[in-house]
Amino acid sequence: MKRIIRFGIVLTLLGAGATGIVLTQNNNGDDRASEPLNPAAITLWVYSGGWQEYADAYNKDHPDVEVNIRKFSSYEQLLVELLASISAGDAPEIAEVDSRFGISQLAQSGQAIAVENGRADHSQISLLERTFRDAFGFSGQIWAAPVGGALPMIYYREEVRTYAGIGAADFQDWHELTDASTHESQMTEKKYGKGGAAIAVDADIPWYAVNMSASAESPGTNGMFAELWTRWTQEAGMMEPLQHEKAVSDFINGKAQVLIASSEKLGMIEKYIGGKFAYHMQRFPQVEQTGVIPDVHALMLFSSEPAKQEAARSFAGYMQGAEAQKLVWTNSSLIPARPDITQSLTASDERSRLILDSVRLFVSQMPSPDDQSQWQKMNDVFIRMELDGRR
């Protein structure tokens, strides 16, 4: 299934490689890939977890390379500081980047190093999931080496399914899910004096909006997210306003009946819920027809002195290796960038199987120069709707 979706579509509707992966320079500097790796210390900027363990595993085979990690609280914060550091001529050697926005700006900075676009080493590049590669394609080149990806999911308590009477089936309609979660929130309030929220939505609202909006082949449902968001933000008790950073913890602590969040959150949810209550997980309704735009994590390299650049190149290559790709799944709940690794994984439970099976539904979204501004505009629209709902 192939299609390309832009964030701007939703705004309009609202009315508002393997270990040996090849990297090439985006400037006239010499290609030093053939030179032996010299002892070097490199700086890695990240916004997600698990990277210290990856760096430690890499260091066992590369003791002459020191990977210094700087962790940011969000991708937005990392991107702002990364663009500033590039302007100041002080960029890190390597950084974790996100497919949802910012790639075109970084690619045009003059300091990013492009991943070989397949002309010189097509067999190795082709080992990576195509939609993951497409997410970093700009001006005919691939600008970051994909590590792993995720998709938006719905997590909900057992009681919500019981009330809906759907048995072991998934919810096929957002309104049915909303009605069931509202009922259970009200029942909890009657029983305990406080019901909490019916719905909790994690912070990446524009990503959920785009994935909830149907493609052009499915007319009549494109305004679904705007319609639901209006209900969720204006009906009393539906959703705690402006609490998206707490959404996952609210679900874990029993303060929300339904959670909309990334599949990447599964590890945390399983760890902290334990056996406190039963819950289920499913993909968004109708994705079998519309497809899913994944969120892809990748590594982007920046120009530096030859020894450091080669060390960064080596680490990026390691993250496409079989060992690291398996760690990406077990440690971070990210779908590996290599389909052969994904297919080799033995899912131990129904939730894991559901996530790994979702790769077949992924569709491509290519970077665009205005994706960051479109993301921000969408987010601002939804936040204004929340504020209006409080009045």
Say how many C-beta atoms besides its own lie within 10 A of residue 343's C-beta: 10
**By CB neighbour count within 10 A (0-12 exposed, 13-18 middle, 19+ buried), where does 29 fall?**
exposed
Cα–Cα distance for residue pair 355/168, rounded to 1 Å:
17
Do 65 and 102 have their domain in common? Answer: yes
Q: What is the pLDDT of residues 37-87, one digit of tens each?
A: 446 899 999 999 999 999 999 999 999 999 999 999 999 999 999 999 999
Residue 188: its pLDDT value, please?
A: 80
Residue 162 has pLDDT above 70, yes or no: yes
Q: With CA atoms as reference, report the closest residue to 238 among 162, 193, 185.
A: 185
- Beta-carbon contacts of residue 106 (< 8 Å; ≥ 6 apart): 79, 82, 83, 86, 97, 112, 143, 300
Do 283 and 299 have their domain in common? Answer: no
Q: What is the pLDDT of residues 292-336, one digit of tens each?
A: 999 999 999 999 999 999 999 999 999 999 999 999 999 999 999
Has residue 74 been placed in a domain? yes
CA 386 to chain centre: 24
Do 192 and 270 have their domain in common? Answer: yes
Has residue 347 been placed in a domain? yes
Say how many C-beta atoms besides its own lie within 10 A of residue 185's C-beta: 24
Q: What is the pLDDT of residues 179-198, one digit of tens each?
A: 999 999 888 887 766 767 89
Do 306 and 233 have their domain in common? Answer: no
Number of domains observed in the structure of the chain: 2
Specify the CATH number for the domain of residue 54. Answer: 3.40.190.10
Do 216 and 178 have their domain in common? Answer: yes
DSSP assignments along 150-204, one per residue: E-EEEEEEHHHHHHHT-TTSPP--HHHHHHHHHHHHHHHHHHHS---EEEEE-S-
Residue 33 has pLDDT above 80, yes or no: no
Containing domain of residue 109, as a range?
A: 7-149+293-369
Do 278 and 325 have their domain in common? Answer: no
Do 145 and 156 have their domain in common? Answer: no
Residue 297: its pLDDT value, please?
A: 98
Residue 192: its pLDDT value, please?
A: 65
* Pairing of the two strands 94-98 and 112-115: unpaired
> In this structure, what token pair is assigned to residue 233?
């933000």
Q: What is the average per-residue pLDDT within 112-126?
A: 60
Q: What is the pLDDT of residues 3-20, one digit of tens each?
A: 555 555 555 445 443 333
Cα–Cα distance for residue pair 26/141, rounded to 1 Å:
10
Has residue 390 been placed in a domain? no
Do 164 and 271 have their domain in common? Answer: yes
Do 104 and 119 have their domain in common? Answer: yes
Residue 367 has pLDDT above 70, yes or no: yes
Has residue 381 been placed in a domain? no
Residue 253 zone, left/alpha/beta (φ > 0; ψ -120 to 50; rest):
alpha
Residue 97 zone, left/alpha/beta (φ > 0; ψ -120 to 50; rest):
beta
Do 85 and 44 have their domain in common? Answer: yes
Type and span of the H or E element at 67: strand 65-71
Percent of the chain at pLDDT exceeding 90: 71
Do 159 and 274 have their domain in common? Answer: yes
Domain boundary among the residues 274, 289, 304 is at: 289
Do 206 and 302 have their domain in common? Answer: no
CA 56 to chain centre: 24
- Beta-carbon contacts of residue 153 (< 8 Å; ≥ 6 apart): 260, 261, 262, 263, 265, 266, 281, 282, 283, 284, 355
Type and span of the H or E element at 68: strand 65-71
Has residue 382 been placed in a domain? no
> In this structure, what token pair is assigned to residue 290?
């519309």
Q: What is the average per-residue pLDDT within 96-105?
A: 98
Position of tokens 């309009």?
12
Has residue 383 been placed in a domain? no
Q: What is the average per-residue pLDDT within 142-170?
A: 94
Q: Are the beta carbons of 306 and 32 closer than 8 angstroms? A: yes
Has residue 76 been placed in a domain? yes
> In this structure, what token pair is assigned to residue 225?
């997210």
Residue 169: its pLDDT value, please?
A: 86
Q: With CA atoms as reference, report the closest residue to 294 among 75, 147, 170.
A: 147
Has residue 376 been placed in a domain? no
For 313-337, b/e burial (b = at least 16 CB within 10 A) is: bbbbbbbbbeebbbbbbeebbbbbb
